[in-house]
Amino acid sequence: MSRLPFLVKDEPAQLIVDGKPFLMLAGEVHNSSAGDANYIERSLARLEGLHCNTALVPVSWELVEPREGQFDWRLVDATILAARRHGLRLVLLWFGTWKNTFSSYAPEWVKTDLQRFLRAETTPGVKMTAISALSTEARKADAKAFAALMRHIAEFDGEEQTVLMIQVENETGLLLGPRDVSPLAEEAFQGPVPTQLLEALEQQRQQGSLIPEFQLLWEKAGNRTRGTWSEVFGADANELFMAWHIASFVGEVAQAGKQEYPLPMLVNAWLIQYADEPAGHYPSGGPVSKMMDVWRIAAPAIDLFAPDIYIPHFKQVCRDYTQSHNPLFIPEAHVLVAAANVFYAFAEHAALGFAPFGADGDEFDSTELRASYALLQELLPLLARYRGTGQTRGIVQETAEKDELRFGDYVFEIRYQQPRSEERLPARGLVIEIQPGEYFIVGAGFEIDFHHAQPGHHVDYLSLEEGHFKQGLWVPGRRLNGDELRTKFDDVLIALKVRLYAFS
Ligand code: DGJ
């Protein structure tokens, strides 16, 4: 067996597959697509048609362990074999105790045994359909099933290594209230915050490595290093308590799986949707960016925290999830703007991967996504070479009419052709600096004027070329000059090679 896929976490983070850095140009299938072997075949064929190299596909606890201790791997195997047939790698999504905060993927024997598998409560005495993070039995059962899954993948796929990474659970957290108030949770909440958590946080505070938003909330509560949850974390105690317990649970599940087959593992987050949204309205205790410090301490087996981005401020979310050296991986992106945001994620933040959710569906027009992915597929070798060097920049229009990029003294003024509107795909693209003054630029929906950062200096073209990429190599087309000497990207994605010089 060759060395398994692994993460190198130095910046830029790399996922090494077959000994080489691998970027996941991916799509996530709908929740039920892997519920039938023929259906997943069709879904993965669609992803192949979109020029994906990776698919994110659920594995459902209820389907793989219909009776306790009896496993059925047929759908997992069918998924892996279908992926191979379609030239795709896989990130498998373990839908275990949590799926969008509830426990709908738990097997029947878990759902129906409320004595053994305790339920969360947000109103005292009223059981939810979500299992409690404090249920030791659920934790053990989930970890056992997940370990069995990883053992099976090791046996079935250890040689070919179609499966690259695993997402453990899906969008954890608690909804409908800020905290589990079931009797067990209530008792734990009245007790002290574990010293393991506080000591690790304190150490990070001293090193200045806490996430600023978290540091602020701790400061507001008085920066205490011992006491009950309320004493230490004040107004945010409920969310911190949930984060600690959910992350400990998930971390234990992940660790049990890694012991069998140590693939990189991630968790995904349902994001805070608007400023000042209260925890419990968004999933309390889930891995939102301000909780990453706590999650990392409670769940060391989790390698990265990943945002599911359906909200419009995509750039801000990318910034949030690259704090404290977290590698950016976007397992779910809004499918209707994915054809634009994908450029920004890879070029601006050296994303390891990007996946629109529901990419296998036929309910959206996939023309633009296919066009972006077709171009990126040929560009990936170049991106892999230049990412993280500061020589790649992403372009996606948000609210501004203009944006500016700097490469040394060369200033790129990006003028968007139209205001951003729901009606059309945002302007999009990326720039790769090959060397000072020489750039590959791809995109649509903007024009670039070049300036010099120093007063009295000017910038002009040496040459401008149309072309396209083939496996990372530039294939030149028309040389542009005269009336066509403009770095202009209209509605249809194109690629240009620009050479500039400066003079005074
Ligand atoms: C986020 C979840 O993580 C996905 O599994 C799916 O339910 C989508 N929401 C639907 O928009």
pLDDT of residue 127: 98
CA of 478 to the centre of ligand 1 (A): 44
| The two three-digit tokens of residue 40, written as one number | 């997943």
Region 423-440 average pLDDT: 97
pLDDT of residue 2: 78
Q: Is the dihedral of CA 189, 195, 200, 202 positive or negative?
A: positive
The pLDDT of residue 191 is above 80: yes
The pLDDT of residue 229 is above 80: yes
Region 277-300 average pLDDT: 98
Residue 180: how many CB atoms within 10 A of its CB? Answer: 29
pLDDT of residue 11: 87
> Which amino acid appears at position 91 of this protein?
V
pLDDT class of 1 with cuts at 50, 70, 90: low
pLDDT tens sequence across 347-395: 999 999 999 999 999 999 999 999 999 999 999 999 999 999 999 999 9
Contacts with 157 (C-beta within 8 Å, 6 or more apart), sequence order? 80, 163
Average pLDDT, the chain: 98
Q: Mind listing the domains of the chain with CATH numbers?
A: 6-175+242-386 (3.20.20.80), 392-503 (2.60.220.20)
The pLDDT of residue 167 is above 70: yes
CA of 100 to the centre of ligand 1 (A): 7
CA of 418 to the centre of ligand 1 (A): 31
Q: Does 31 contact ligand 1 (Cβ within 6 A)?
A: yes
Separation of alpha carbons 297 and 196, rounded Å: 8
Q: How far is CA 460 from the centre of its chain?
A: 39
Owner of token pair 């996922």: 15
| Whether the Cβ atoms of residue 398 and residue 309 lie closer than 8 Å to each other | no
CA of 332 to the centre of ligand 1 (A): 8
| Whether the Cβ atoms of residue 36 and residue 82 lie closer than 8 Å to each other | no
Q: Report the relative pairing of strands 329-333 and 353-356 from DSSP bridges.
A: parallel
Contacts with 237 (C-beta within 8 Å, 6 or more apart), sequence order? 189, 221, 228, 229, 230
Region 143-171 average pLDDT: 98
> Strand, helix or coil at 466?
strand
pLDDT class of 63 with cuts at 50, 70, 90: very high
Give me the phi and psi of 252, to 5 degrees please. Answer: -70, -40
CA of 347 to the centre of ligand 1 (A): 25
Q: Ligand 1, atom 10: nearest CA belongs to which residue?
A: 357
Contacts with 105 (C-beta within 8 Å, 6 or more apart), sequence order? 60, 61, 62, 95, 96, 99
Helix (H) or strand (E) holding 346: helix 338-349
The pLDDT of residue 95 is above 70: yes
Helix (H) or strand (E) holding 142: helix 136-157
Residue 203 sits at the vertex; the CA angle it makes with 237 and 166, to the nearest 5 degrees, is: 70
Q: Transcribe 40-61 into DSSP letters.
A: HHHHHHHHHHTT-SEEEEEEEH
Residue 104: how many CB atoms within 10 A of its CB? Answer: 14
Percentage, residues of the chain above pLDDT 70: 100
Residue 443 sits at the vertex; the CA angle it makes with 438 and 449, to the nearest 5 degrees, is: 55
Region 444-457 average pLDDT: 98
- Name the percent of the chain in helix, strand, coil, to the closest 5: 35, 30, 35
274: exposed, middle or buried (Cβ count in 10 Å: 0-12, 13-18, 19+): exposed
Q: Does 167 contact ligand 1 (Cβ within 6 A)?
A: no
Region 99-114 average pLDDT: 98
pLDDT tens sequence across 308-345: 999 999 999 999 999 999 999 999 999 999 999 999 99
Separation of alpha carbons 334 and 356, rounded Å: 6
Q: Which atom of ligand 1 is nearest to the CA of 357?
A: 8
Nearest residue to 387 (alpha-carbon basis) of 40, 14, 70, 109 = 14
Nearest residue to 163 (alpha-carbon basis) of 24, 330, 69 = 24
**Pocket perturbation via mutation, ligand 1, pick of 30, 31, 273, 310 by most ligand atoms within 8 A of CB:** 31
Measured CA distances, 148 to 119, 142, 174 (Å): 24, 10, 27
Q: Transcribe 207-239 into DSSP letters.
A: HT-S-HHHHHHHHHTT--SSSBHHHHHGGGHHH
Q: Ligand 1, atom 9: nearest CA belongs to which residue?
A: 100
Which pTM was predicted? 0.98
Q: Does 100 contact ligand 1 (Cβ within 6 A)?
A: yes
pLDDT class of 135 with cuts at 50, 70, 90: very high
The pLDDT of residue 197 is above 90: yes
Separation of alpha carbons 331 and 287, rounded Å: 14
Q: Give me the residues paired with residue 430 across strands.
A: 394, 442
Give me the phi and psi of 448, to 5 degrees please. Answer: -120, 130
